[in-house]
Structure 1
Amino acid sequence: MKKLLLLFGVMALLTYTSCNDDDDHYSLNNFWLSSGTISKEVGSFYVTTDEGKKLWPSATNVNVSLLEDGMRVLVNYTILGDANLDSAYDYLVKINDVSQILTKPVFEFTAQTPDEVLDSIGNDAVTIVDTWFTGDYLNVEFEYGGGGSVHFINLVYDQENSETETGEIILELKHNKNMDRYNYKQWGIASFDVSGFKIEGKDEVDFLVRSKDKDGEYGYNKVLTYIFGSSETAALMKSNYQPNKKINFSWIK
């Protein structure tokens, strides 16, 4: 479990503009919010969004020394223009801010796992908003109630209850609120490394991803197909993105 290093700016709470060909890309009054991966180069970096767009930072407010190659991030950027046709990039952008996305392995447990470890994983309500793959990462967008202390978020695999009757591997999002009060709804994203579930001789595997709601029921049950090494991803932010979501990634780990 590691704390997040970078906090997302308050401006992310104020507005959101969907990035598509019908928008005024080049207005300096617009900014976009995308999930993506950092590629670090000597003295510089670029971002590949989960939709496959490569962003070259012609200008940035971010300290490059805080970034690491392969870091999963939410990036807030303003499009300055299209890159040249012969360029490896899609857009020239100004990077307004980034926040590191929590990145973790899947937690596996057995009948021999100590009770104190299972208790630390927790069984508090959490709502999955969306799920999608980026390479070998299963990304989970989620909401939970809190606001006063650090919460624990994990994706778990129970080796004693590992598959559905139809063969999907069961992965469950678990939440420990650490006795925090429900002050307001918060929002987060975590990326979980699922590369350990690759099966020799196959090029894909099915997961059933689920989470329990406040009534103790599985309010989210979705089958996802993990295609090994695939670049196919689902868009993170939709047109109904709610700008009043609380974005404070220092409160999950």
Structure 2
Amino acid sequence: MKQLLIPLIFAVFLFASCQQDDEVTLMETGTVVDYAGAASCGIVIELDNGNRIQPLYYPDGFTFTQGQRVLVEYKELPNVIPTCDRGAASDISYVEELNCAPYVDLNFNNYDSLARDPVFVHEAFIDGDCLQIKLSYSGGCQEHTIDLARMHPWVTGSSNIPTLEIRHNANGDMCEALFTKELRFDLTPLKQEGKTEFVLTAKLADGEDYSEIFDLN
């Protein structure tokens, strides 16, 4: 079974069939980018060969998340014209997560280099070596970026528990449509350092701060 990627809206179906025998099956690696809220776009895979594809169909049970590295086997669907102009519509027959997105290191010199606009955190949990986060934000008129930052203490050795902070840049977006994203970030560096727990923080839309402790064991 395959599922249809809901955020992806298509303007024209020139033929009823989504798959044709003469279409070439390709296998490539790439990085997932979630363009939710930007020009009717959703999930786009930026392939390492320079091309971009939009997954119209893909295997059940797989969740695409921002920054994720994937291996995909796919066929482009030349007879389907997407409303989003950031890649070819594609039918993905196989997808494998290679790794999740890295976090960013922030310290005294660059603490303010990433914006701290508010989000709403639905859930966060550890899945293998990755931290998976589901969050929402308001917008619709600008492209948003979301990073996970490791906030290194100003004084070395002042804290043994790492702090990871969700950093959201709304680029001044004043629109009020609500968008939801799922993200996965790599926790391997913390485990390699022998860390056993960390704190996840974020600035929330109601003006409060989100804070939760996670066990790495």
Query: Which one-letter code corresponds to 1:104 in the other structure?
Result: A
Distance 1:114 1:135 in 2: 28
Cα distance 1:114–1:125, how it changes in 2: closer, same or farther (>3 A)?
Answer: closer
Q: State how 1:133-152 maps to structure 2 within 5 Å.
A: 133-152=126-145
One-letter amino acid of the structure 2 residue matched with residue 133 of structure 1 = I
TM-score where L is the length of structure 2: 0.55
Match of 2:63 in 1: 35
- What are the superposed Cα offsets for residues 16-56 of structure 1, whole Å, 9 maximum, x if unpaired? xxxxxxxxxxxxxxxx7653899969x69xxxxxxxxxxxx
Gaps in structure 2 of 5+ consecutive residues: 1-30, 34-43, 46-52, 75-89
Instruction: Mark the runs of 5 or more structure 1 residues left unpaired by the alignment.
Output: 12-31, 45-60, 73-102, 228-253
How many residues align? The count is 150
Secondary structure of the corresponding residue to residue 181 of structure 1: coil
* Cα distance per residue 1:196-228 (max 9 Å; x no partner): 11245x5x611111211134420x22111123x
Matched with 2:108 is 111
Q: Is structure 2 residue 200 aligned with structure 1 residue 209?
A: yes
TM-score by length of 1: 0.48
Distance 1:70 1:35 in 2: 9
Check whether the contact 1:168–1:223 (CA below 8 A) recurs between aligned residues: no
Q: 1:221/1:162 Cα in 2 relative to 1: closer, same or farther (>3 Å)? A: farther
Per the alignment, do residues 170 and 114 of structure 1 end up closer, same or farther by CA in structure 2, a change over 3 Å counting?
A: closer
The root-mean-square deviation of aligned C-alpha atoms, in Å, is 3.8
1:63 aligns with 2:54: no
User: 1:162 touches 1:169 (CA, 8 Å); kept in 2?
Assistant: no
Candidates 165, 171, 174, aligned match of 2:167: 174
SS in 2 for 1:132: strand
Matches within 5 A, 1:1-253: 3=33, 4-5=44-45, 35=63, 62-64=91-93, 69-71=96-98, 103-113=100-110, 118=113, 121-160=114-153, 167-199=160-192, 202=194, 205-218=196-209, 220-227=210-217
Percent sequence identity over matched residues?
19
The alpha carbon displacement at 1:167 in A equals: 4.5
Deviation of the 1:128 alpha carbon: 1.2
2:151 partner letter: D
